[in-house]
C-alpha cells in the first residue's frame, strides 16, 4: 500500500488522497440524488435511507472543503482571472445545464421535489436565483470564489462571518424566511469552502500526517454535537451550532477516509479517476438517474430495493463519463467550458 500523501501518477504535484476524496464525495452526491428518485418511486430500502442520512455530514463538507483547498491558489491571481476562470465559468455552466435539466424535468420526466408548474421562461429565470435541482453546487462555487477573492485580505472576519451565517442557516427555523434549499445550503456550507481556501493551503500536504488529530476532532465534534442537540430543542442557535459542529466532524471523517482509501492501489486508481472527472459526473448524472429510475418497475422485493441505489449510481457515473466522451468526440466543448469566443485575452506582456 502507498501512503496517503503519495503523489498521484495522474499528474505532477497531485496528492493522491485529494483526488480520492473528490471521487468519494461525487459518489456520495450521486447516491444521495439517486436515493431521492428511488424513494419517490418506492424503490429504496429504509437501510439505504439511513446510510444516506449517516453520510450527510460528510458529503457536501468534504466536496466543498477540497474545492476550497484546491481553489486557494486561484484566489491569489488577478481579478480578471478569477472572474473569468471561476465565477463566469461556473455561472455559465449553471445557466446551460439548468436549461437542460428544466426541459427534461418539465416536459419529459418529473422531478420528485422541483416545482415545474408555470411558463418555461419564467421558471428558468427564477431558477437562476432559486436553484431547484442538484446542480446548485456550481452556482454556489461562483459566489464562494468571488467572496473569497474579495475578502482574502480580511481572513479572520470573513471566516468568522461565514461560520456565524452557517450556524444560523443550520437551525430548524432558517427555512421560514423565504430561502429555498439551495440558498440555505449555500449559506450552510460557505465556511467549508471559504475557510480552507483562506487558511488551508499549508495544511493540504500535511493532512496524511495528522490523522490522529483528525480522529480526535471527529470524536469531539460528535460529543459536542450530541450535547448541543439535546440543549438545542429550546435554543435554535445552539441547535444550529450542533449541526454545524457535526458537519465539521463529518469533514474530518471524510479526510481520514480519503487518506486511508488512497493507500489501496485499485481503489485509489478508480476513485482518483472519478475525482479528476467530477464536473461531467456532476452535471450529467441527474439526467441519467431520472431516466433509469423512470424505467424501473415498482417492486416489493427487499433485495432489489437494497441494491437498486448502488446499481443506478454505477450506471449514472459510467453513463455520465461516456456522455462526456461522446460530446467531446463530436467536437462540442461548450457544455463543459466557456465558448472559445469568450476566451480570456492575454494580458499585455504575457503570451497566450
By mean pLDDT, which of 87-101, 104-118, 119-133, 164-178 is the weakest?
Answer: 164-178
Rounded Cα gap, residues 225 and 207, in angstroms: 23
* Grid cell locating 318: 459510467
pLDDT for 186 equals: 96
For the stretch 232-286, pLDDT in tens is: 666 767 888 999 999 999 999 999 999 999 999 999 999 999 999 999 999 999 9
Domain ranges of the chain: 16-342
pLDDT digits over 178-226, tens only? 889 999 999 999 999 999 999 988 888 889 999 999 999 999 999 999 8
**Cβ-based neighbours of 68, under 8 Å, separated by 6 or more:** 144, 148, 192, 193, 194, 195, 196, 197, 200
Cβ atoms of residues 70 and 276 within 8 Å = no
Burial class of residue 48 in the structure, from the number of CB atoms within 10 Å of its CB (0-12 exposed, 13-18 middle, 19+ buried): buried
The contacts found for 341-350 with CB under 8 angstroms, 24 or more apart, are: 342/88, 342/92, 344/80, 344/81, 344/84, 344/85, 347/78, 347/80
Q: Give the residue from 122, 134, 64 showing the smallest Cα distance to 98.
A: 134
**What end-to-end distance do the CA atoms of the chain give, in Å?**
42
Distance from C-alpha of 257 to C-alpha of 182, rounded to nearest angstrom: 27
328 pLDDT higher than 80: yes
Cell readout for 225 is: 454535537
Question: What pLDDT does 4 receive?
Answer: 41
Amino acid at each position: 500500500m502507498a501512503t496517503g500523501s503519495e503523489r498521484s501518477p495522474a499528474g505532477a504535484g497531485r496528492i493522491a488522497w485529494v483526488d480520492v476524496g473528490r471521487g468519494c464525495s461525487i459518489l456520495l452526491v450521486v447516491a444521495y440524488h439517486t436515493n431521492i428518485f428511488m424513494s419517490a418511486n418506492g424503490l429504496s430500502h429504509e437501510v439505504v435511507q439511513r446510510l444516506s442520512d449517516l453520510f450527510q455530514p460528510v458529503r457536501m463538507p468534504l466536496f466543498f472543503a477540497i474545492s476550497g483547498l484546491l481553489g486557494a491558489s486561484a484566489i491569489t491571481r488577478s481579478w480578471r482571472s478569477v472572474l473569468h476562470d471561476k465565477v463566469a465559468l461556473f455561472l455559465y455552466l449553471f445557466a446551460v445545464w439548468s436549461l437542460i435539466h428544466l426541459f427534461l424535468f418539465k416536459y419529459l420526466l418529473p422531478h420528485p421535489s422541483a416545482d415545474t408548474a408555470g411558463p418555461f421562461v419564467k421558471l428558468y429565470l427564477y431558477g437562476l436565483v432559486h436553484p431547484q435541482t442538484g446542480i446548485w453546487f456550481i452556482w454556489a462555487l461562483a459566489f464562494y470564489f468571488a467572496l473569497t477573492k474579495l475578502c482574502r485580505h480580511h481572513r479572520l472576519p470573513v471566516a468568522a462571518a461565514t461560520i456565524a451565517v452557517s450556524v444560523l442557516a443550520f437551525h430548524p427555523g432558517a427555512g421560514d424566511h423565504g430561502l429555498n434549499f439551495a440558498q440555505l445550503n449555500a449559506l450552510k456550507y460557505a465556511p467549508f469552502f471559504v475557510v480552507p481556501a483562506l487558511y488551508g493551503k499549508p495544511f493540504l500536504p500535511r493532512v496524511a500526517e495528522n490523522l490522529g488529530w483528525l480522529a480526535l476532532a471527529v470524536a469531539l465534534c460528535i460529543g459536542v454535537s450530541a450535547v448541543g442537540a439535546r440543549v438545542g430543542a429550546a435554543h435554535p442557535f445552539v441547535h444550529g451550532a450542533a449541526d454545524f459542529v457535526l458537519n465539521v466532524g463529518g469533514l474530518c471523517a471524510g479526510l481520514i477516509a480519503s487518506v486511508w482509501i488512497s493507500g489501496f492501489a485499485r481503489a485509489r486508481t478508480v476513485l482518483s479517476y472519478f475525482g479528476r472527472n467530477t464536473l461531467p459526473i456532476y452535471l450529467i448524472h441527474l439526467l441519467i438517474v431520472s431516466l433509469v429510475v423512470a424505467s424501473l418497475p415498482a417492486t416489493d422485493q427487499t433485495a432489489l430495493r437494497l441494491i437498486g441505489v448502488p446499481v443506478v449510481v454505477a450506471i449514472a457515473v459510467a453513463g455520465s463519463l461516456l456522455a462526456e466522451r461522446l460530446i467531446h468526440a463530436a467536437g462540442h466543448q461548450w457544455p463543459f467550458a466557456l465558448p472559445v469566443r469568450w476566451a480570456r485575452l492575454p494580458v499585455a506582456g504575457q503570451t497566450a
